[in-house]
Structure 1
Amino acid sequence: MKQYSIVLALSMALISPLVVAQTNSAKIIEDFKPSTLNQPGKEFPQVNSQGYARFRIEAPTADSVRVSLGLGGKGGTKLEKSSDGVWTGTTAGPMDEGFHYYNLTIDGGKFNDPGALNFYGSVRWESGIEIPAHDQDFYALKNVPHGNVQQILFPSKSTNTSRRAFVYTPPGYDKDQAKRYPVLYLQHGWGEDETAWSNQGHANLIMDNLIADGKTKPFIIVMTYGMTNEIKWGGLKNFDITPFQTVLVDELIPYVDANFRTIAKQSHRAMGGLSMGGMETRTITLNKPDVFSRYALLSGGLYNPEDIKDKSKVKLIFLSCGSKEKPEGVKNAVTALKGAGFNAVSYVSEGTGHEFQTWRRSLKELAPLLFNE
């Protein structure tokens, strides 16, 4: 239960600090530009070079409009109504770099911003905004060879249906039919789904760029839905891993090994996940040591040396989080693992919390370590 408590505490950090109406606009640099995640042709929301976000909503008959940043937050940025019925407002302070979910509260009802693209999070489609990061080049769309992200539908007898996953195959996968690849099974967080790592996380672009720069060996990434038990926010401690473990280990992995050119061995198979996906990773890797040899928890709990019964089966343990989370716990856990003879690595994303910029950076650090022998 201790580990579940850690994950729950980290998950609570998903609720970003809420901001109120801007009171000192003199300090704001007026170089606002449309967010890169806007709907085609939409000018708002906008972001500036300092990380402030500005919103504009047309709701002439509304009495109150607020922008809530984070999971299900109340309050948020209060917008002001002009004589033409348009509501505008700017966050009280700069936001962390990277991707953020948000929604509108209009007269007490929750809505998405019609100016922004939608992303699945919080068990619903949420609006998304991107605050440009100083290091965004590593997940930028560049003129390099690109891999392919494809949807697969695999049979699941345990759930009596066909289930969906997305599979990233690296550049050149279709050219050399003799080459086989290791696999990373990569899990999303609570309230998200199998689209998150591609859409919000840019996992495919991160891999494309790392491979093009010669910084990582190519490997396959498989992303599937992990919320096999439908649980409400705050009920994560009651999550039963058994149904998802069955789907992953007994159904998805055999399907991937049969339909993709994998190296179908424990030594060439990894599992990782962010937040709740880290909790799933930790539990399944400990339950099934003969299935995975490389473990990665991204803001998703810790391993203790005594948790692992057979050290010889574990090739790598990677633990990460944002500097606004609990980095001391990650660092101390890795120190203890190293002292017990494990190949363990910690990474702390500077200036970020429980958010996708932390996990994008974590994947960038993780990928070169996974299958480097």
Structure 2
Amino acid sequence: MYSILALVLGFTFSNSEAQVPANASPAPTNINQNGCPCIFQDNRVLFTVNAPEATKVQLDLGKLYDMQKNDTGVWTVTTDPQVPGFHYYSLVIDGFKFADPASESFYGTGRMASAIDVPEEGIDFYDIKDVPHGDMRSRVYFSKTTGTWRNINLYTPPGYDENPNKTYPVLYIQHGGGEDERGWAVQGKTNLILDNLIAEGKAVPMIVAIPNGNATKPGVNARGYNDEAMAVFKEELFENIIPFVEKNYRVKPDAEHRALSGLSMGGGQSFFTGLRNTDMFNYVGVFSTGLFGGIREQASFDAESVIPGILTNPQKFNNSLKVFYISVGEQDNRIEATKKLIETFKNKGLNVEFASFPGDHEWQVWRKSLHDFAQKLFK
């Protein structure tokens, strides 16, 4: 419960076991469901931490909140109303950042960090329900590209093991920057989204492959939205990931039954790799990518130079893609650049489906994107 760094610095801290106020509920991401963080009906959140030796404690949740100490050494703060969705945060104790011992930690900011999941009223598509459930399976494979053993998570739909002669289509889904194969499997709630959609008859039973898209190769600048980085990703996907999935799982190994999608960095990977290889993927989904602009690193974007023919010969893509899908959060800095490109695509005659959802660059938007995209696949 205590941090080694905190002990070195001369103080200890722990979950305060604070009583939940009558008009609040424990966050679903809490380790102890009898304590705080606690979410009020207006989405304000009460945080508490027991740190009697500390001289200053703050909460870093998008902005810094100063916490107040009582006479027993418990620090508390109530935040502004939070947007529904998944929010990473840290405790800042005497200038040092720590994970909150009261909350689960998740890998998603280039490190393990605490997070709070604020429920959205009326949204239950990623809740656990009384429906048949598939499996989330963790496997390892050897990558000839990176020269290392790598992890991959795979969702298999309900009935996979009970129907040994049945084959399935596959969705390959990519995480964003600072994330890995845990993102869609944990924060993204892929298994629950697919379980519920399949039970409702809104999605075809499918396998979802969730690999680590952070592939590096000696001597190659495999970072950012450039041809070198995308070539390494393509090699990892085509020569390692897809062969592993098709050797070990009962899949339909053709473009008609293969989809590629991703969020943020993974959306850029899906755009490059999916549209440059429509002979491999008939379905391409791009969620919240900064490839089109809206971020400091991407000042300009020329779709035709990246994907030759996409503006000058759109019918080629219309004939080979069954679904080309782009989504983004309505409060995301990327939205205006994305909308501008969507308008260009449509004016040139390219078939593209666009969706936007309330939220910034975060998991609630991506969960909704997967929920929407999955319903369009393999029909």
Query: Displacement of 1:287 after TM fit?
Result: 3.7
Matched, 1:319 2:338: no
Counterparts of 1:109 and 1:314, CA distance in 2: 50
Counterparts of 1:166 and 1:120, CA distance in 2: 15
Query: Displacement of 1:270 after TM fit?
Result: 1.0
Give 2:271's aligned residue. 282
Q: 1:359 aligns with which of 347, 354, 366?
A: 366
Matched, 1:216 2:208: no
SS at match of 1:128: strand
Q: Is the 8 A contact 1:304 1:337 kept in 2?
A: no
Unaligned runs of 5+ in 2: 1-20, 218-222, 293-300, 310-315
Higher relative contact order (CA 8 A, sep 6+): 1
SS at match of 1:136: coil
Give 2:249's aligned residue. 260
Q: Is the 8 A contact 1:31 1:48 kept in 2?
A: yes
Matched, 1:113 2:106: no
Counterparts of 2:169 and 2:370, CA distance in 1: 16
Matched, 1:195 2:202: no
TM-score, normalised relative to structure 2: 0.83
Give 2:66's aligned residue. 78
Q: Is the 8 A contact 1:42 1:115 kept in 2?
A: no
Q: 2:52 aligns with which of 54, 60, 75?
A: 60
Give 1:228's aligned residue. 215
Between Structure 1 and Structure 2, whose CA radius of gyration is higher?
Answer: 2
Counterparts of 1:42 and 1:111, CA distance in 2: 22
**CA pair 222-308 structure 1, distance change in 2 beyond 3 A:** farther
State the percentage of identical aligned residues. 38
Matched, 1:333 2:346: no
AA matched with 1:186: I
Unaligned runs of 5+ in 1: 1-28
Q: 1:47 aligns with which of 13, 22, 39?
A: 39
AA matched with 2:256: S
SS at match of 2:138: strand
SS at match of 1:247: helix
Number of positions where the alignment pairs a residue of Structure 1 with one of Structure 2:
334
1:118-161, CA deviations, whole angstroms, 9 ceiling, x for partnerless residues?
11111111101011102331111000001111011112112222
AA matched with 2:159: G
Counterparts of 1:341 and 1:267, CA distance in 2: 22
SS at match of 1:40: coil
Counterparts of 1:116 and 1:342, CA distance in 2: 45
Give 1:22's aligned residue. none
Give 2:378's aligned residue. 371
CA RMSD of aligned residues (A): 2.1
SS at match of 1:254: helix
TM-score, normalised relative to structure 1: 0.84
SS at match of 2:326: strand
Query: Displacement of 1:308 after TM fit?
Result: 5.2
